[in-house]
Amino acid sequence: MLDPKLLRDNPDKIRKMLEARAVNFPLDQLVETDKERRALIIRTDELRKKRNEISVEVARKKKASEDAAKLIEQMRSISEELSKLEELQTETEQRYTKISLSLPNLIHESVPIGKDESTNREIRGWGKVPIFDFKIRDHLDLTQSLDLVDLERAAKVAGARFYYLKNKLVKLNQSLIQFALDFLSDKNYIPVQTPYLINRSSMEGAIIAQDFEDVIYKIDGEDLYLIGTSEHAVAAMHSDEIIDSKNLPIRYAGVSPCFRKEAGAHGRDQKGIFRVHQFDKVEQFVFSRPEESWDEHERMLSIVEEFYQKIELPYRIMLLSSGDLGKVSAKTYDLEAWMAGQNSYREIVSCSNCIDFQARRLKIRFRDRTDEQPQYLHTLNSTLVATARTMVAIMENFQTKDGHIAVPKILQKYIGANII
RNA sequence: GCGGGGGUCGCCUAGCCUGGUAGGGCGUGGGAUUGCUAAUCCCAUGUCCGUAAGGACUCGUGGGUUCGAAUCCCACUCCCCGCGCCA
């Protein structure tokens, strides 16, 4: 949600953003509805004022045991008119909210303008792409020959894009989670394991309407949705709260499974466990003062880079262009890891500053002193590790000539082995 | 799932029975007073509309009764206590 004042004072700024994102949005309709709703507020406020004045008079007369019948008759007609207007107001308010909830976030000035991923900008790279002196295999091949993943039975039991992890891959999955949590704890992040199902109003705080269709699973007959990432549950943690600024920034290490419908991804990445309906993730989520959020954003990215250097995965950092940017984010870096089996870099991390967009939706504010106007804070989120994709990268990059997988040094003590 | 108790401004609390402008304390900021500090006293302290003056709203949420609801009625929700079931 954007600052409603922007809608009135500078709609062109919003128009520019929509253009840069190449998004169709009924901006004029929103501006019009905002006008309607404000006019209605003024009219109902006036009527209420009148009613309150008469009500005080009624009370006074009754106390003095005078006749108030005439006034009460007036009250009756005001109340009648008011309830009609209120109905109209509620309807207008709902219409306004519905449209404004689907309005995407503003874009930071450093974001390159461009229509899709082809205009993303490479910021830097790290590590050497491995060179093999044997014929390499992709991760699907490796998981089948080493009996690490059962896709056929998962398809039978749950459907496409599900999987059974088996044997040492189960341990690798746990090791990545454990290492990630230790790593963030050392940096004073607060570990938090979230609810995996949350209600609609919480979900609406973190995502935009279209995502309900494309990514989010709903529990039939309940006001419950499976989280697409712990970000959704952590963001809503402090909804409707005013946070004492001396507690900022609040840095959480969220851990949870992630559930995604992947609607519209038919045919893409069908192989193996790269694009799946369920995976585990450790996530950085930060509540920050507005003036500190851009530094915080860079800090989160540097933490991500340190992590992947420790597990020795070659990567490059991409700055997403306006057309590829998520609707709730003002600026996003992706980390793309080298995947030998696909001979390309693939996205495994997304690091975003959502500025005050989620905070407005969730009413998360802060202040320095208790007599001060509270103001919206900024929220940021970044993957630390999404296990399925990171395991794909590890398997493909660390494969050995004899068809096994070397375990990155830092994970060996967690998994209790140096080869899979 | 059943029975009982509860949810009031950032925090704590009064008001609810008996309907008529939501009061007090803490915290925080400002001011007064005072060698300094402390204590004391005064003012401010949520959201929305409005350039402003000002006004409206706000008592877990949503309905209802009433001229008028924090207060009465109904439903839902969350927390606490007891019982039941249960990994």
Residue A81 has what pLDDT?
A: 85
Residue A334 near residue A347 (C-beta atoms within 8 A): yes
Burial class (CB in 10 A: 0-12, 13-18, 19+), A5: exposed
Nucleotide nearest to A34 (CA to C1'): B49
Residue A52 has what pLDDT?
A: 86
Residue A61 has what pLDDT?
A: 79
- pLDDT tens digits, one per residue of A159-178: 989 999 999 999 999 999 99
Distance CA A46, CA A85 (A): 11
Residue A162 has what pLDDT?
A: 94
What global pTM score does this model have? Answer: 0.91
Residue A6 has what pLDDT?
A: 87
Q: Compute how many other C-beta atoms are within 10 angstroms of the C-beta atom of residue A318.
A: 22
Nucleotide nearest to A63 (CA to C1'): B20
The helix (H) or strand (E) run that includes residue A393 is helix A387-397
DSSP code for A292: G
DSSP code for A247: G
> Can you point out the beta strands (E) in A260-376?
278-288, 315-319, 331-339, 344-353, 364-367, 375-376
Residue A382 has what pLDDT?
A: 96
Q: Is the ipTM of this complex over 0.90?
A: no
Phi, psi dihedral angles at A272 (to 5 degrees): 65, -145
Residue A300 has what pLDDT?
A: 97
Chunked into runs of 10 residues, chain A (420 residues) has average pLDDT values of 85 92 92 89 88 84 76 83 84 87 92 91 92 90 93 91 94 96 95 91 86 85 89 90 86 94 79 92 94 95 96 96 93 95 93 93 85 87 96 94 94 92
User: What's the Å distance between residue A109 CA and nucleotide B10 C1'?
Assistant: 35
Burial class (CB in 10 A: 0-12, 13-18, 19+), A214: middle
Protein residues in reach of strand B (CB < 7 A): A 4, 38, 41-42, 44-46, 48-49, 51-53, 55-56, 58-59, 62, 72, 75-76, 78-79, 90, 242, 369-374
User: Whats the size of chain A, residue-wise?
Assistant: 420
DSSP-based three-state secondary structure for A337: strand
Residue nearest to nucleotide B26 (CA to C1'): A370
User: What's the Å distance between residue A370 CA and nucleotide B64 C1'?
Assistant: 38
Q: Which nucleotides of strand B come closer than 7 angstroms to any CB of the protein?
A: 10, 20-21, 27-29, 44-50, 54-57, 63, 67-68
